[in-house]
Amino acid sequence: MKVPQAVVDAMLAHTLEGYPFEVCGVFLGHPGPVARVAEAVPAVNRETESPRVRYQIAPEDLMGIQGSARARGLEILGYYHSHPDHPARPSETDRRMAAESLSDGVIHVVVGVERGEKAEPTAWVFRDSQQGFEPQTFEIE
């Protein structure tokens, strides 16, 4: 996955601004052997019970993002979310959510946010409910 520096900067700013809550968003771009991200669209975390440790993108929000993307010739390539004061790797909750949403082959970026001061992104691809997540190349252009 190739991501422009400006897109990475916007994503990291979003995760830092949202601290101490998890924030989330959607990557739009062009698929291919090496996916190319064109933009990261922040989404509202609709999780109401535990927004510090979980996120939820409402279906209607996702449909709106997808419609706007298609109108501009872009596709949803994947998602990002933050882990406030937790490691930048998928959790068991992340694995369950990905398995329930049938996101085989979808890119997930997890951003570990330390004390609202430092943000570290890692990229993963979800393979299936048994295998879970595998590390994904995250190349900043």
Q: If you average pLDDT over residues 50-70, what whole number do you get?
A: 95
Q: Which fold has domain 2-140?
A: Cytidine Deaminase; domain 2 (3.40.140)
Q: What's the confidence (pLDDT) of residue 130?
A: 65
Question: Which of 94, 96, 101, 89 shows the shortest CA–CA distance to 136?
Answer: 89
pLDDT-based confidence at residue 129 (cuts at 50, 70, 90)? low
Cα 99–Cα 75–Cα 95 angle in degrees, nearest 5:
15
- Across the chain, mean pLDDT equals 92
Question: Which of 76, 61, 65, 60 shows the shortest CA–CA distance to 108?
Answer: 76
Q: If you average pLDDT over residues 123-134, what whole number do you get?
A: 81
**pLDDT by residue (tens digit) across 25-39?**
999 999 988 889 999
pLDDT-based confidence at residue 79 (cuts at 50, 70, 90)? very high
Determine whether 22 is an active site residue.
Answer: yes
Choice between 31 and 131, residue whose per-residue pLDDT is larger:
31
- For 16, 62, 111, 116, the CA distances from 88, given in Å and listed in that order, are 14, 23, 5, 14
Select which of 17, 22, 47, 114 is catalytic. Answer: 22
Choice between 100 and 80, residue whose per-residue pLDDT is larger:
80
Question: Which of 100, 104, 102 shows the shortest CA–CA distance to 133?
Answer: 104
Q: If you average pLDDT over residues 117-131, what whole number do you get?
A: 86
Question: Which of 106, 110, 130, 134 shows the shortest CA–CA distance to 122?
Answer: 110
Choice between 137 and 17, residue whose per-residue pLDDT is larger:
17
**102, pLDDT greater than 70:** no
Domain ranges of the chain: 2-140
**97, pLDDT greater than 90:** no
